[in-house]
Chains A and B, each alone.
Chain A
């Protein structure tokens, strides 16, 4: 075997590993190691290497009785449910509208609705902070012109999560719309023709043709919405400058951030992070099983 043959052989055997190496290094350094380290930290009371006390499952046991944590879970769950209830129908409606041949300048509208998703969450929070300002904000000015009393969007504890919801919807409806639109464009027109031949009306076609065709994307978007909802942080944190009045804007990740970086309790913050991972996993499994039982997977 010549050296050239040996070189080729070595290359063909090792090339896949060499191609994977950069990813493995970056993933190992910035994902796997911090994940492993945070798991270890979650069993310690820690404020740096000099002060680490092993507490076993102490952080997790304290978490189970920490009402601020459960308050943040309830708050986050309420937001996620409200978000999905509004986002999915709204984005599907937009997608159906912009898939219709009767709408002029469809591409322009598609881009316009999607473009909001290209904006960063912090930037959106700052803009909505200005728009929803109780005294000088545009929204309250418009409401006043309509004879509606000003709303304390960012100062009234009952309204602050509604403000976050509005900003989150502005940011994400276009994104979900693009997914629906792509799927709708892939539905074979013959299905609709066949349904018409069978005498199906518009509603019947939507129920028996459109919905089954988009069910996989619908499931994906619901799961993505749940995960994004559970990870909600930047929007409320910047919009309300923390948990907001009466702590009503507290979310799970915000509590994690405050515990880790404001209170400096990294061990407990890691435990909160791992509890969130467990929650996402449980929700994912429940959703998967439920949809499988309903025949949507």
Chain B
């Protein structure tokens, strides 16, 4: 007997049928008591190792799944928008700082995470975490997640190359000193070798400098600060570090590998480094062993912070979670347990971990962990609003215009007038967007 539509179609139908039966027979995996979504493999592995301890203490089974940041975002946003309250909603999720703004768009009472400030107070955990990091994950007086990390920012530099040029960077205190040292360095090494890795088309480092000076582009009351005099001052200074006669910085590309390789080749001799990049320098630039040193960031004024912050992760409980008390128990357990830390945790008691106090042979036996701990205590306040990303993006565009103006030979007084105008107009734009898109 022949199949009327031909053998090929018959084979396809049979394959589809077998596949469908297979999928149906497989069924759904039974849900654990606590479902956790983490976006990094390190975090997932560290927490998976705690499963048995958590079961021994609480008698509850926990399953930690690695889910990419983008997938967490899209699934959570869909769940929150549809008001989903079922077993598919995870009990605990990790959220990256770049994503959190959109979750903070509704008024505080409608944010899609459970406010945990009362749990924190009840269990006396407030003092365990770095205060500025608790503020980062708060809105309208409510805390929506516990911080996992601190991410202080330092200046890593080629000690060997600077020493050959007769410069001791450990002695510099201000950004102006750093620029002068950079110019001396470049005079010694020639025009192709730059004193620092600094992007000219993205405001990442400029934003960190502003945080150092206590400026958040949008504050907790959604007030836009792009027209703050300190922004103009910092923008003017930074522009001259990446363009024109006093240029000391060059971008080495967007990713860490390219930045580290530029450091290895000596094309740039210093880079702004958050704690998470320290491990990556070791991984991608093993040739740099014993050639690097790490110091606190230079400042503009005495009152500025000697560090800034780059990145961050919070651990939160989605509102759709069905058993909030158990989820809080698990959240508390995961964030206060001692695990292997690659970066400095926000849990202060973990700073006693011997790993943070040992000399690091890679950095000429300097105690990098101790510097990170010292800087963590002086971390600037960082505030995230739904409009912070927009403001940072717009600041990048202003920086790009300023750099082009300097490259086209614009004088400093002219540049100042233009930068002031651009910042004011950008400030107005962001304010307009906040009036249009905000819910408060």
Give A contacts to B, CB under 8 Å: 45, 47-51, 58, 62, 67, 133-136, 152, 154-157, 241, 243, 245-247, 261-266, 268
A69 to chain B, nearest CB (A): 11
The complex places the Cα of A152 from the Cα of B199 at a distance, in Å, of 12
Contact A268 B389 (CB under 8 A): no
Chain A positions within 8 Å of B396 at CB level? 245-247
Q: Which residues of B contact A (CB under 8 A)?
A: 73-74, 77, 80-83, 99, 101-103, 105-106, 110, 199, 201-202, 251-254, 257-258, 261-262, 386, 389-390, 393, 396-397, 400, 429, 436-437, 439
The A contact surface, by secondary structure, is loop
In chain A, what residue has the closest Cβ to B437?
A265
* Chain B residue at minimum C-beta to C-beta distance from A62: B436
CB <8 Å contact, B436 and A47: no
Inter-chain CA distance A250–B82, complex, in Å, is: 30
Choose one: A135, A156, A263; the contact of B102 (CB below 8 Å). A263
Residues A263 and B101 in contact in the complex (CB < 8 Å), given A47-B439, A136-B258: yes
Q: B101 touching A261 by the CB < 8 A rule? A: no
User: Does B261 lie within 8 Å of A49, measured CB to CB?
Assistant: no
B258 and A245: CB pair below 8 A? no
Query: Would A157 and B400 be within 8 Å (CB), given that A48-B83, A50-B83, A135-B252 are in contact?
Result: yes
Q: Which of B199, B201, B251 is packed against the most chain A CB atoms within 10 Å? A: B201
Contact check, B201 vs A45: say whether CB atoms are below 8 A apart.
no
Contacts of A157 in B (CB 8 A): 201, 400
Contact B201 A155, beta carbon cutoff 8 Å:
yes
Whose C-beta in chain A lies nearest to the C-beta of B267? A135
Inter-subunit contact B105/A264 (CB<8 Å):
yes
Complex Cα distance, B390 from A263, in Å, reads 8
How many angstroms from the CA of A134 to the CA of B393 in the assembled complex? 23
Residues of B within 8 A of A50 (CB): 83, 106, 110
Task: A50-B106, A263-B386 given; name 20 further pairs at CB < 8 Å.
Answer: A48-B82, A48-B83, A48-B106, A50-B110, A133-B258, A134-B252, A135-B258, A136-B261, A245-B199, A245-B202, A245-B254, A261-B73, A261-B74, A261-B77, A262-B101, A263-B389, A263-B390, A264-B102, A264-B386, A266-B81
Closest B residue to A49 by beta carbon equals B83
Tally A-B pairs: CB < 8 A. Answer: 90
A155-B389 CB under 8 A given contacts A47-B105, A49-B82, A246-B400: no
Distance of B114 from chain A, by nearest CB (Å): 16
Interface contact A245-B400, CB-CB below 8 Å: yes
Expressed in whole angstroms, the minimum distance between the Cβ of A241 and any Cβ of chain B is 7
Task: Pick the contact of B106: A47, A155, A241 (CB < 8 A).
Answer: A47
* A51 partner residues in chain B, CB cutoff 8 A: 106, 110, 439
Minimal beta-carbon separation of A122 from chain B (angstroms): 12
Cα-based distance from A48 to B102 in the complex (angstroms): 12
Q: Is the CB of A245 within 8 A of B393?
A: no
Which B residues lie within 8 Å of A47 (CB)? 81, 105-106, 439
Q: How far is the CA of A262 from the CA of B99 in the complex (A)?
A: 7
Q: B254–A155 contact, CB under 8 A?
A: yes
**Given A67-B429, A155-B251, A241-B254: A264 in contact with B103 (beta carbons within 8 A):** yes
Q: A264 near B77 (CB under 8 angstroms)?
A: yes
A–B pairs, 21, beta carbons within 8 Å: A45-B437, A47-B439, A48-B80, A48-B82, A48-B106, A49-B81, A62-B436, A134-B252, A154-B253, A155-B251, A155-B254, A245-B199, A245-B251, A245-B254, A246-B202, A246-B396, A246-B397, A261-B102, A263-B389, A264-B102, A264-B105
A246-B390 in contact (CB<8A):
no
**B411 CB, min distance to chain A CBs, angstroms:** 23
Q: Which residues of A contact B390 (CB under 8 A)?
A: 263
Residues from chain B with Cβ under 8 Å of A58 in the complex: 436
Residue with the highest number of chain B CB atoms closer than 10 Å, among A67, A261, A263: A263
Instruction: Enumerate chain B residues within 8 angstroms of A62, measured Cβ to Cβ.
Output: 436
Whole-angstrom distance from the CB of A121 to the nearest CB of chain B?
16
Q: Is the CB of B201 within 8 A of A245?
A: yes
Residues of B within 8 A of A263 (CB): 101-102, 105, 386, 389-390, 437
Q: Are A133 and B105 neighbours in the complex by a CB distance under 8 Å? A: no
